[in-house]
Structure 1
């Protein structure tokens, strides 16, 4: 079967997932996670990429990244990031070969309606996997860095929807915590997963129509309406 074409747009957030080859373990210990985050920080600066959210699981990675003005820079950024992790793992284990699946998945996210929903989806991965009871307990996602403003995570970018939650940083964090603690509906969960799996858009039908007009492409995956919003100021 032919592969679905990936839609990449400048100045839009993209929900990205990259999995280990045959779902093999990518991060075996704390040093592995730390090394990847160090590379992520360095390369986002080098390529002019904004990172709004991340979650590192043992055999896959979720990122919410905005490529800025150069859409082509996103694929190069992911290529270099993946290559560094592969060299590190191969050297550590005295082996050769691939670490990742050949092609990462990505979905352009409609900022106004789905950006915070995708952040929440990403940061709740460890909770859905029954690894922790609360997102704040997991050390390898952006949630703890976002809520507690952890030292060393100053490089994490604040997306405009998060900033729009309130006038003060403390109230933004409080409202985002409440938003994350709301249950994600089964419909929203299926929609985000399907858009990502098919390299399609995470957004409403109106957003899909707009992207079709701009790109001249026919978009298969259609929206399901706005997700339940976080409380705004």
Structure 2
């Protein structure tokens, strides 16, 4: 359904604005995230995307972000805060302050790379135990495959 809607919209948009080609870079991507250690990091990564892209100087300036709901309590009808966000503090004011505090520190470049790699490869983002459990449950690899041919060892008798 979403693909059909997207195709129709692209035709309309291209016809209206006399252009051709795709509107979006690629397919929508989603992946599993270990909530306890990675959810707020991913949320921060997403809400800082407009800043990294040079669209705004502060995440609160990007109106399509959930940052203002998390950091300032802006009521958004379609927004439901995650349990990990709610665990930041016992009351709204302290929770919002704690959330703003998360954004004062720079994201580790290694974490940004890990998030991007997991999303691009369609792999889960989490620690080794989390990935082991997913692999056992779904019989699907959750780590990058080893590049290259397998090493052939000679049979020694």
Q: Same fold (TM over 0.5)?
A: yes
Counterparts of 1:121 and 1:108 in 2: how far apart (Å)?
15
User: Does the alignment pair 1:210 with 2:133?
Assistant: yes
Question: Are the counterparts in 2 of residues 200 and 220 from structure 1 also a CA contact under 8 Å?
Answer: yes
Alignment of 1:172-187 (within 5 A): 172-187=95-110
| Aligned Cα root-mean-square deviation (Å) | 2.6
Give the drift of 1:111.
0.9
Residue 125 of structure 1 aligns with which residue?
49
Residue 155 of structure 2 aligns with which residue?
none
User: Does the alignment pair 1:134 with 2:58?
Assistant: yes
Counterparts of 2:9 and 2:96 in 1: how far apart (Å)?
32
Alignment of 1:143-154 (within 5 A): 143-151=67-75, 153-154=76-77
Residue 196 of structure 1 aligns with which residue?
119
Give the drift of 1:102.
5.2
User: Does the alignment pair 1:110 with 2:34?
Assistant: yes
Structure with bigger strand share is 1
Alignment of 1:39-58 (within 5 A): none
Does the C-alpha gap of structure 1 residues 180 and 140 become closer, same or farther in structure 2, counting only changes over 3 Å?
Answer: same
Counterparts of 2:4 and 2:71 in 1: how far apart (Å)?
29
Aligned-partner SS, 2:103: helix
Counterparts of 1:82 and 1:111 in 2: how far apart (Å)?
31
User: Does the alignment pair 1:162 with 2:46?
Assistant: no
TM-score w.r.t. structure 2 length? 0.77
* Structure with greater Cα Rg: 2
Give the drift of 1:215.
0.1
TM-score w.r.t. structure 1 length? 0.54
Give the drift of 1:127.
1.7
Alignment of 1:81-120 (within 5 A): 82=6, 86=10, 89-90=13-14, 92-93=16-17, 98-101=22-25, 103-120=27-44
Structure with bigger helix share is 2
Aligned-partner SS, 1:181: coil
Does the C-alpha gap of structure 1 residues 88 and 210 become closer, same or farther in structure 2, counting only changes over 3 Å?
Answer: farther
Give the drift of 1:126.
1.8
